Structure 1
């Protein structure tokens, strides 16, 4: 838990965009690890295994009816359609690192997951390929397209005074 807890929570956050849900998913992942403790010696690549469990649990959470109902019924959308950012939101966008993080989170999931695994988790293309059960060339293509989309988002944000277009 000490070694993977924070990294898995950040990974889950990249999928769910909600820190509390990410923490819940990571708790479930560690419970799964506990239940498979006696089989740990048969797991060849523990890091890949635990990341795969985290990704699958995030995807399950996103697919659940509860999640869809909470998102559609909540008042969160009024913030996304606001013309001006609140002072709190303006502070978030001040640093380049935070702008990059927000831009990555605005990518479609198929690009966001490979960008996150490659750049933030420093996994190789081969490891990502095994983790997501995708061809290496598919991973490379998604990385390239994700970078292109990220570049466009970042350019738009910079041209917009550092505000992400998603909120304007």
Structure 2
């Protein structure tokens, strides 16, 4: 499970806590909890959804804790390898756009950020998001629409076409 979901859960946790080392700690706690509940794993319908839910809940607990300090790292959320055929100028422009997009997503309010990340980056369906976040379908659709609108506005302000 750690090999299959570790990196995705760490990225998900990072999107909540905005600090890579703290995100790794959260995921480590999730896998420890998973290990202690290993006997009841057979009762769980979707291990993936269960791990995502545990990670989200753990992140929210960390955010609520008194010792939590908000630090936004300058790194990009998602690392992509560039093809060898692109020029250095295009690569630099693409990397800058990716960083701006990542920063804009991180700056969204958490209720919009989590829906945007789960829908676009984790490629979960609306139904899966509803189950993970225990929200009504219309609520998820509304948050997705409002999140897109806020993201478009932020991207336009930063000079990137918000389409």
TM norm structure 2: 0.81
Matches within 5 A, 1:89-108: 94-108=95-109
Partner of residue 81, structure 1: none
Matched position secondary structure for 2:108: coil
- What are structure 2's unaligned runs of at least 5 residues? 73-91
Partner of residue 110, structure 1: 111
* Count of paired positions: 142
Deviation at 1:150, TM superposition (A): 0.1
Deviation at 1:124, TM superposition (A): 0.5
Matches within 5 A, 1:49-68: 49-67=50-68
Bigger relative CO (Cα 8 Å, ≥ 6 apart)? 1
Deviation at 1:139, TM superposition (A): 0.2
Residue 122 of structure 1 pairs with residue 130 of structure 2: no
Partner of residue 155, structure 2: 154
Deviation at 1:94, TM superposition (A): 5.0
Deviation at 1:98, TM superposition (A): 1.7
Residue 20 of structure 1 pairs with residue 43 of structure 2: no
CA distance in 2, matches of 1:25, 1:94: 28
Deviation at 1:95, TM superposition (A): 2.1
Bigger shift: 93-102 or 37-46? Answer: 93-102
Moved over 4 A (4+): none
Partner of residue 162, structure 1: none
Partner of residue 134, structure 1: 135
CA distance in 2, matches of 1:114, 1:7: 15
- What are structure 1's unaligned runs of at least 5 residues? 78-90, 160-168
Matched position secondary structure for 2:9: helix
Q: Alpha carbon RMSD of aligned pairs, Å?
A: 2.2
Relative to its length, the structure with more helix (as a share) is 1
TM norm structure 1: 0.79
